[in-house]
Structure 1
C-alpha cells in the first residue's frame, strides 16, 4: 500500500505546529521528522537531511569517505534503503516552503519509491504553493487536524528489517516501476553476477549449526550503525561480528541472508567450508539496509550484495574501515583492489 501526501498549511508559522512535528519524531514507531537545511548548496542536501533523521551521520573532513553523498541518486537510494529496512512508514518534513522545486520533486519521487506516508508543513501563505504541491488533495490547517495526522497509522507496518514489497523476484519489478528513470542506471564497474549452486541461508539452516557472532563493544556498534552507506555499513558489520575475510563476503547473495535477518551464510573457498553465522541484534538493521539497497537497485538475485562496494566504491570502504581502528578492519579493507 502506498501512503498519501498530506499538506499542512501553517500560514502564520505557528511554533506549536513545528514543536508538534518535532515531538512526533519516533523512529522506533516508524515515524521520523525531517528538518531541512535549505541553505546547503549540495544537490543532495535534502537526502542528507533524511539520512540524518534516520540516525545516519556523514563522515566529516575535506577528504571524507562519504563524498559519494554529494551525488543525488546514491544519496536518495541510501535513504530509501534505510527507511525500508527500519520500517519507516510516516515521514514529516518541516518548513517545506523553503525548499526549491527541484528538492520538492526529489522528495516526492522518494515517497513514490518507498511508499511512506508523507506529511509536509507549509509554513507560509498557501498562495505561494508550487503547482506540484497545489495539486495535493489532502490539505489540513488546524492544530487538531495536525494531531489527527500525527497519530494515524501509516501505510507500512513499523516492522523493521523487511522491505514493503513481496519476497523474491517481484521486489525488483516493483522497485523498478517506482524508481525514477535517472535512478535506474547501474555502475559499469559493478562486479558481474557470480553464479554458483551453493544453497542459501534458509536451506543451510536445516543442515548447519549456527556459529555465534563475535562480541563487539557498544561504542563500535554505534559507530557502525551511524554509517550512511547501507552497503558499507553492512559489509563492515559482517566483518566485525564474523571475524571473516573478504573472500567470503564477496560471495554473499540476497538468499544468503535469512528472511528475518537472523543468520547469514559465509562462503568458504570452493564452497566446501561454508558457515552459518547468527546475526547479532545490533547488526540486523545494517544487513537489512544492505539487502534493501541491493533490491531497490534492481540487481538480479544472483548478484553479490556487497559487490559494488568491493570494487567500484572500495576507496570509501577502506576509508570507513580506517576510522574504526578498534575493530582492526583496516587491513582486510585495504586489500580489496589489486
Structure 2
C-alpha cells in the first residue's frame, strides 16, 4: 500500500516483494527529473545519506583522508550540495528503497532536503508499518497495489523538463531583491569593460544580463571531453563551477573573487568576470556542458541565503583555494592559472 502525506509518499511493502525494489531501481531516470537513492548499508558517517544522494545525482567524491572533498564530510554541507544539484538539474521526484533501515535522524534529513528543494519524496518501507517513526506517521490517504505504485512512479505532475535553473535575481522577492536594486558604488569615469562603446554602456559592474544587451560574449575555449566529464562529476557545486570557468575562459583565479550571483545570466548562458579596478570586466559565453555546473553553484549560493551582491566563490578563496587546486590536478590541463593574485592590467 502507498501512504501519501503532502509531497511524501510511503510505500509499505511488509512482505519485501521484489517487484517494488525492481520498480524503484528502474525508475531512476535523471534525464526525466527522477532519481532513485540507494542508502549505503550501515553507513556510519552523519553525511552518508547525503553522499548517497550525490552519487544518485551523478557526483563522485574523491576518496582518502586528505580528500579535496573534505568539505562534504559535514552533514550540513553535504546536504546543501545535494540540494543545490537537485534544484539545478530539475530533480522533482526522489525514490528511496529500504527506508525502514534509516535512522530517525536520516529520515529527518531527507524530509528537510525535500522542504529545501520542493521535490516529491517516495520511501519504500519494507517492514510492518507500526515500526514507522513519528515523522512519517501522519498520513492522509492510502493506496494499495502494484498498479498504484507504478502510477506514482510514472506520474508526470511533479517532474518538469530539465534543466530547471534557479530563477534570476530579478524574479526573487524579499530582502535579497532589495539588495539587488541598490545603486552600484560610484566608480572612476573610465571604469568600464574595454569592449563597451562610450555611447552605450551599462552602469559600472552591471550584471551579466545587462552587459549582454550591449556586448557580445566572448566564445568559450573548447576543452577535451574527458575534462568536461571530470568536471561534471565533481561533488561540490562551487568547485565544479569554479574550475569549469577557469577552463573555458582561461581566466585567472583572482577574477572569481568578485563574481556575484548577478554576474551569472538568468539562463546561465553567460558569465561576467571582474578585476579589482573594474576597468576590464569581460563577458564570456558559457558552453552547454558547463551550464548545469554554474547553475549548481548559483543554487548553492542562494540556498545558503547569500544576497545577489555577495561573491559566489568566496568560500573557495580560503586557505589559498587548496581544495580547488587539489581537484585541478586531476585534469589534463596542467596550465590552469590557480594563483590567487589578480594579474596586472
| Range class of TM-score, shorter chain | 0.7 to 0.9
Aligned to 1:328: 334
Kept in 1, the 8 Å contact 2:252–2:339? The answer is: no
Distance, in Å, in 1 between the alignment partners of 2:320 and 2:160 is 33
TM-score (norm 1): 0.87
Alignment of 1:1-338 (within 5 A): 4-155=7-158, 157-163=160-166, 167-170=170-173, 197-311=204-318, 314-324=321-331, 326-328=332-334, 332-333=337-338, 335=340
Paired residue secondary structure (2:123): strand
1:171 and 1:286, CA in 2 relative to 1: closer, same or farther beyond 3 A? farther
Which runs of 5 or more residues in structure 2 are unaligned?
Answer: 178-183, 187-203
Structure 1 stretches of 4+ moved >6 Å: 171-174
Q: Offset of 1:165 from its aligned partner?
A: 9.1
Moved more, 157-166 or 90-99: 157-166
CA RMSD of aligned residues (A): 2.4
Paired residue secondary structure (1:38): coil
Give the number of the structure whose residues are more often helix, by fraction. Answer: 1
Distance, in Å, in 1 between the alignment partners of 2:340 and 2:229 is 25
Which runs of 5 or more residues in structure 1 are unaligned?
Answer: 175-193
TM-score (norm 2): 0.85
Distance, in Å, in 1 between the alignment partners of 2:14 and 2:341 is 54
Kept in 1, the 8 Å contact 2:168–2:266? The answer is: no
Q: Offset of 1:281 from its aligned partner?
A: 0.6
1:105 and 1:286, CA in 2 relative to 1: closer, same or farther beyond 3 A? same
Distance, in Å, in 1 between the alignment partners of 2:168 and 2:46 is 29
Q: Offset of 1:68 from its aligned partner?
A: 1.7
Q: Offset of 1:275 from its aligned partner?
A: 1.4
Question: Could you say which structure has the larger radius of gyration?
Answer: 2
Distance, in Å, in 2 between the alignment partners of 1:44 and 1:172 is 31
The number of residues matched between the two structures is 315
Deviations 1:275-319 (A, max 9, x none): 111100100000000000011111111101111112268221121
Kept in 1, the 8 Å contact 2:93–2:119? The answer is: yes
